[in-house]
Amino acid sequence: MAIYLPATAEEQQIALDELTPKEIVAELDKYVVGQNAAKRAVAIALRNRMRRQKLTPELAEEIMPKNIIMIGPTGVGKTEIARRLAKLADSPFLKVEASKFTEVGYVGRDVESMIRDLIEIAIDMVREEKLEEVEDKAELNAEERLVDLLLPGSRAAESAASAAGTAGFIEGQTEPQSRTREKLRQQLREGKLDERIVELEVREKSMPAFEIISNQGVEEMDINMKDMLPNLFGQRTKKRKMKVSEAFEYLIQEEEQRLIDMDQVQRTAVERAENAGIIFLDEIDKIAGRESGHGPDVSREGVQRDILPIVEGTTVNTRYGMVRTDHILFIAAGAFHVSKPSDLIPELQGRFPIRVELQSLTMEDFVRILTEPKLSLVKQSTALLETEGLKLEFTEEALSEIARFAFRVNEGTENIGARRLHTILERVLDEISFTAPEMKGKDVKVDGDYVRKMLADIVKDNDLSRYIL
């Protein structure tokens, strides 16, 4: 189980529309061990999305995504597969627990909030892309404004000289200022002026003192208060003294916001969420089951019925306008220990035509998880301790022992899949991590005997094992 990190330059270079299902599975193999059936299902779903983009608009409109249910115990890679797929496709991705929702009329989150959250994620994605596009321009503009602050009047003099053409006396007056301005610019780029204090006009971010009383969370309110009350939010400015280095960062941010067309960002984000969004609906087994008529389960079928139109395709009202859900890909997941997919209401079952079962992890899988993924647990631990100047090495026997202990504890207590490896590995490295600063420059080899020494006493005591491992 790998930690989720931003895509590298190498990953971003991959031409998405050229990826075949086999290549998509190969990419997922870099982060998730095994579970080929689930990888094949999501690879086909992603490839179908690419195929749909090449169809005529009339036909593309009719082709709906084939939503997927992943069935398997916790910690076997369900979430990681969906998350990595979204990263590979550069799609807005939202993971949400179905058990957090309540039927309309009950206190809690309503199902439409997942679409609003997805749109916010898409807005952030597109905004980041636009920020990268205007980054250089924003820095140049910020630099010009900062030079103006450091040398008041120079810009006005330059403008006058430009308007006067070749008038000698104006050129003579502005030439020294122009040279001074260029000298200041050079010093600014070299960081020689970072500690100088300048006075900058900044926007106040103070919020007015009033309360909003609602039975919904603020994130679910469709009304944008900033649009309704523009004079109360962020319109006033005040003068503030700060170092040149701080002022430069502030001005860059201000210029970036000025250069970005937020209306275009919102339109692009809504379109991307509608056509490329992926929602991972976890713990769907927790809402499976029919009405009991009383108690805490009374709204479970109601939640299913509320989710149904979202998955089938409807329009949801958001602060950015109406958003269609017809072509959003839904990947549901659950352990289904107590319930089964057939316990879902028939209509919802029909909207998840693809079912894949993920297998419980074996001892061999644990060994592979420790070493094979691109960002494996062993690589992470080794890299962390290298920052202390300590070189850590695991023998094959040590990895086998860690996997064996993780497998045994999962069998004897609650099976939490690969997540058990995190706990076991931290316990094994406890002493080394604690004393690492005093072991700078040393090479440390973790072998099977060391692993057994660190874990044997705890594993022998079942009660202690339940608490610690």
When pLDDT is cut at 50, 70 and 90, the band that residue 136 belongs to is: confident
DSSP string, 243-312: EHHHHHHHHHHHHHHHHS-HHHHHHHHHHHHHHH-EEEEE-GGGG-S---SSSTTTTHHHHHHHHHHHHH
The DSSP bridge partners found for residue 121 are: none
pLDDT at 417: 86
When pLDDT is cut at 50, 70 and 90, the band that residue 468 belongs to is: low
pLDDT digits over 329-343, tens only? 999 998 888 888 888
**pLDDT > 90? residue 117:** yes
How far CA 300 is from CA of 69, 105, 344, in Å, comes to 18, 13, 10
Annotated ligand binding at 347? The verdict is: yes
377 contacts 369 by C-beta, under 8 angstroms: yes
pLDDT digits over 394-416, tens only? 999 999 989 988 888 888 777 88
When pLDDT is cut at 50, 70 and 90, the band that residue 384 belongs to is: very high
Annotated ligand binding at 419? The verdict is: yes
The DSSP bridge partners found for residue 249 are: none
**pLDDT > 60? residue 105:** no
pLDDT at 14: 46
Annotated ligand binding at 76? The verdict is: yes
Q: What percent of the chain has pLDDT over 90?
A: 16
pLDDT at 171: 42
Residues in the chain: 469
**pLDDT > 80? residue 115:** yes
Annotated ligand binding at 303? The verdict is: no
pLDDT at 16: 63
Which positions ≥6 away from 302 have C-beta within 8 Å?
102, 103, 104, 106
Report the alpha-carbon distance of residue 272 to residue 119 in Å, rounded.
Answer: 9
Which positions ≥6 away from 117 have C-beta within 8 Å?
94, 96, 219
Pairing of β 93-97 and β 278-282:
parallel
Nearest-10 crossing angle of helices 363-371, 419-428:
70
When pLDDT is cut at 50, 70 and 90, the band that residue 459 belongs to is: low
pLDDT digits over 214-242, tens only? 444 444 444 455 555 544 544 577 787 87
**pLDDT > 90? residue 118:** yes
32 contacts 373 by C-beta, under 8 angstroms: yes
Report the alpha-carbon distance of residue 469 to residue 369 in Å, rounded.
Answer: 18
Query: Which tokens in the block code for residue 122?
Result: 């898409």
**pLDDT > 70? residue 141:** yes
The DSSP bridge partners found for residue 420 are: none
Annotated ligand binding at 277? The verdict is: no
- Please calculate the CA angle 463-464-468 and round it to the nearest 5 degrees: 125
The chain-wide mean pLDDT, for the chain, equals: 79
Closest CA to 179 of 197, 164, 158, 159: 158
Can you say whether the dihedral through the CA atoms of 451, 452, 458, 462 is positive or negative?
positive
**pLDDT > 90? residue 324:** yes
**Average pLDDT of span 284-302:** 67
What global pTM score does this model have?
0.76
Annotated ligand binding at 79? The verdict is: yes
Higher pLDDT, 248 or 212: 248
First to last CA, the chain: 17
